Amino acid sequence: MKRRTFLMGGAALLASPWVLGSTLPKGTIKITVGWAPGGGTDVFARIVGQKLSELWGRPVIIENKPGATGMLAAEMFSKLRYSNDVNLLMAHVNTHAIAPHIFKTVSYDPLRDFAPIALIGATPHVLVTGSKHGDASVADVVALCKNDPGAISFGSSGTGSVQHLAIEMFNMAANVQGMHVPYRGSGPMQTDLIGGQIDFSFDTMTAATAQVKGKKLHAIAQTRIKRAKGFPDVPTMDEQGFKGFDASSWYGVVGPADMPKDLALSINADINKVLLMPDVIERFDGYGVEDGGGTVDQFAAFMADEYEKWGKVVLAAKITDEG
**pTM score:** 0.86
For residues 117 and 134, membership in a common domain is answered with no
pLDDT surpasses 70 at 302: yes
CA 15 → CA 11, 95, 118, 266, 277, distances in Å?
7, 33, 17, 11, 16
Q: Is residue 300 part of a domain?
A: yes
In this structure, the dihedral spanned by the alpha carbons of residues 19, 23, 27 and 30, taken in order and rounded to 10 degrees, is -40
For residues 216 and 258, membership in a common domain is answered with no
Would you place residue 11 in the very low, low, confident or very high pLDDT band (cuts 50, 70, 90)? Answer: very low
Would you place residue 323 in the very low, low, confident or very high pLDDT band (cuts 50, 70, 90)? Answer: low
For residues 34 and 74, membership in a common domain is answered with yes
Strand 29-33 with 86-92, pairing: parallel
For residues 141 and 187, membership in a common domain is answered with yes
pLDDT confidence of residue 166: 96
Would you place residue 219 in the very low, low, confident or very high pLDDT band (cuts 50, 70, 90)? Answer: very high
Question: CATH number, domain at 14?
Answer: 3.40.190.150
Give the structural domain span for 307.
Answer: 3-123+249-317
Segment 151-168, tens digit of pLDDT: 999 999 888 889 999 999
Q: Is residue 93 part of a domain?
A: yes
Please state, rounded to an integer, the average pLDDT across all residues of the chain: 91
Question: CATH number, domain at 167?
Answer: 3.40.190.10
Q: How far apart are CA 288 and CA 126, in angstroms?
A: 11
pLDDT surpasses 50 at 317: yes
Q: Is residue 65 part of a domain?
A: yes
In the listed set 179, 207, 222, which residue is the last one of a domain according to the structure?
Answer: 222
For residues 191 and 217, membership in a common domain is answered with yes
Segment 167-207, tens digit of pLDDT: 999 999 999 999 999 988 888 999 999 999 999 999 999 88
Q: What is the mean pLDDT of residues 48-70?
A: 95
pLDDT confidence of residue 40: 86
Rounded to the nearest 5 percent, the helix, strand and coil shares of the chain are 45, 20, 35
Identify the residue with better confidence: 204 or 300.
300
Q: Which of 52, 115, 32 is nearest to 273 (CA)?
A: 52
Query: SS3 of 117, please?
Result: strand
For residues 115 and 257, membership in a common domain is answered with yes
pLDDT surpasses 80 at 124: yes
Q: Is residue 239 part of a domain?
A: no
For residues 281 and 297, membership in a common domain is answered with yes
What is the tally of structural domains in the chain? 2
Query: SS3 of 229, please?
Result: coil
pLDDT confidence of residue 196: 95
pLDDT confidence of residue 320: 87
pLDDT surpasses 70 at 18: no
For residues 213 and 160, membership in a common domain is answered with yes
CA 61 remoteness from chain centre? 21
Q: Which of 39, 61, 86 is nearest to 187 (CA)?
A: 39
Q: Is residue 243 part of a domain?
A: no
Q: Under 8 Å CB-to-CB from 142, ≥6 apart: which residues?
A: 174, 176
Q: How many CA atoms are closer than 13 Å to the CA of 210, on its beta-carbon side? A: 5
Q: How far apart are CA 117 and CA 10, in angstroms?
A: 12
36-45, 88-97, 203-212: range with highest mean pLDDT: 88-97
In the listed set 222, 257, 286, which residue is the last one of a domain according to the structure?
Answer: 222
